[in-house]
Amino acid sequence: MVFSMTGYGRAQQVLHGREITVEIKSVNSRYFEYSSRIPRAYAWVDDRLKKQLSASIARGKTELSLTITEVEGAGAEILVNEQLAKQYLDALRALSGSLGVADDVTVNTLVRFSDIFTVAKPQLDEEEVFADISTVAQQAIEAFRGMRKTEGEKLVEDLLFRLDRIEEMVRQVETLAEGRVEAYTQRLYEKLKALLEDRTVDDARVLTEAAIFADKTAVDEETVRLHSHIRQYREILAAGGPVGRKLDFLTQELNRETNTIGSKTQDLAVTRLVVEMKSEIEKIREQIQNIE
């Protein structure tokens, strides 16, 4: 399976009183490049998240964003300073007696004194916290890889289409090349015959010139290698995995063999095919820049 290097994934869950959100996005890069935006209080999870992410991504400039919000009151414990509350109560009753006012002190009266209450948060369990973050991160990774997979399938479809076109043009080059020596020999013979008029044309010299021409313009090796490279291309795409670098090398080879054919040919029809082949190879080069 072939993956694109561009993708996006997001996941969100509330676990153990924390709303955890993880977002992952990536663009093209020759290598795996990681950056993150993580709250300072949770900076200690960064290296572990990078390791988790790198297990699923071979190439791409990737950014991970982590947001954690404490659910209000979750896991908190309310502590009451009863001794202080009793002192407030005694003071209020004493004030009631000294001022001669009704003693209507209730619990509602005491709650106005905020220093009676203390909110105690539980001690952070780092392993539990990371397990929760990792769970959400993995969901985001799956969504992220799903998008990269979809994009990768589209890229493969396009590449196979262009490889078919190139292969057909290579066959046309082979067909045109088959009669090139015979055509050259005939042209040379007719030209010499016209120049020499009534003198006899040296057939041996014509055959020698034809042989030299055949050697200089032969493209058999190049077309055979092109067929081989195209076959390897298809095999690599079928195998899947991180294949971008392999395809980049093969694309250079396709371009090199095509250029060689162009430099050897003296046939206008072949030259036109070479131009079309180079155009398709350039489109392939652009596409594989997106492949992991």
| Segments of the chain with pLDDT less than 70 | 72-76, 119-122, 179-218
Q: At 97, is the secondary structure helix, strand, or coil?
A: helix
**What pLDDT score was predicted for residue 200?**
59
> In what side-by-side order are the strands of the sheet with 32-37?
7-15, 18-27, 60-70, 32-37
Could you tell me the pTM of the whole model?
0.69
253-262: which pairs have CB atoms within 8 A and are 24 or more residues apart? 253/225, 253/229, 254/166, 254/226, 254/229, 254/230, 254/281, 254/284, 255/281, 255/285, 257/222, 257/223, 257/225, 257/226, 257/229, 258/222, 258/226, 260/219, 260/222, 261/173, 261/219, 261/222, 261/223
pLDDT at 205: 57
Whole-angstrom distance, CA of residue 225 vs CA of residue 257:
7
Taking alpha carbons only, the member of 212, 214, 289, 283 closest to residue 247 is 289
Share of the chain above pLDDT 90, in %: 56
Structure tokens given for 12: 């969100």
pLDDT of 183 reads 58
User: Would you state the pLDDT for residue 175?
Assistant: 85
Dump pLDDT digits (tens) for 43-83.
999 999 999 999 999 999 999 999 999 876 555 677 788 88
Report CA 228 to chain centroid distance, whole Å: 27
The reported pLDDT for the residue numbered 270 is 87
